Amino acid sequence: MTSRSYAEYEAMFDLTELPGSVLDCCAGGAGFTAEAAARGVDAIAVDPAYELPAAELVDTVRRSLPAGGAIVDEHADRFVWKWYGTPAHKDDLRIEAADRFLQDVSIAPERYVPGSLPELPFDDRRFELVLSSHLLFTWADKYDQDWHLAALRELVRVSASEVRVFPLVQQGAGEPVTYLPELLTELEGVTAEIRKVPYEFQVGADEMLVLSR
């Protein structure tokens, strides 16, 4: 589980203004939902980890903070620092985001819904914008092509307008996901676009997938 900040989400998804309702699907310990809600957005986060008892969730979020750094150290030549500047700035953003998340979960638990792809506990077209960071494609070593197709269809089902997914490469060395083009041909009734974003951390991972309906 990771804790990306609102600033990272803004850059990864090239967000300017947020619409009235947003879902962060596979939000983990991210601070995005707390910050979006503070800006008056109907923001909901979903993650299987939200089934954990509160103390265990706090512990998981805190213990996960150094794990991201370990992956970067292991594949140091596969990361660039032009967006973060320094490892210390990245760590600060993640710690702040984890704090923001944990504070918000305790005061507004209704915003944090337990659930897993490819079956989400929301009505069709419930959210104007659906964001998904670092689950699809990132975890292609764990989830196969069929799972990805089902997951993308489910994200589209709960969106009224747009789904954005970042990044489009696998975790660690950032290998491309070879079946991505085939997946896009299998999504019916959806316009798929791969769009550049003003964020890069894994080398070459500066594109998001935008699905519109």
Ligand X SMILES: C[S@@+](CC[C@H](N)C(=O)[O-])C[C@H]1O[C@@H](n2cnc3c(N)ncnc32)[C@H](O)[C@@H]1O
Footprint on this chain of ligand X (rule: CB under 6 A)? 1-4, 26-28, 30, 47-49, 116-117, 133-135
Indicate the residue among 28 and 174 with the shorter CB distance to ligand X. Answer: 28
Min CB(55)–ligand X separation in Å: 17
Indicate the residue among 134 and 157 with the shorter CB distance to ligand X. Answer: 134
Min CB(180)–ligand X separation in Å: 18
Min CB(133)–ligand X separation in Å: 4
Max Cα-Cα span within the chain:
44
Indicate the residue among 114 and 191 with the shorter CB distance to ligand X. Answer: 114
Distance of alpha carbon 31 from the chain centroid: 11
Min CB(136)–ligand X separation in Å: 9
Indicate the residue among 135 and 184 with the shorter CB distance to ligand X. Answer: 135
Angle at 136 between CA 134 and CA 141, to 5 degrees: 95
Q: Of 158, 150, 177, give the one whose Cα is nearest residue 25.
A: 158
Indicate the residue among 112 and 162 with the shorter CB distance to ligand X. Answer: 112
What 3-state class would DSSP assign to 39?
coil
Distance of alpha carbon 38 from the chain centroid: 19
Min CB(116)–ligand X separation in Å: 4
Q: Which amino acid is at 80?
A: V
Side by side, the strands of the sheet bearing 127-133 are 112-114, 42-47, 21-25, 127-133, 159-166, 207-212, 191-196
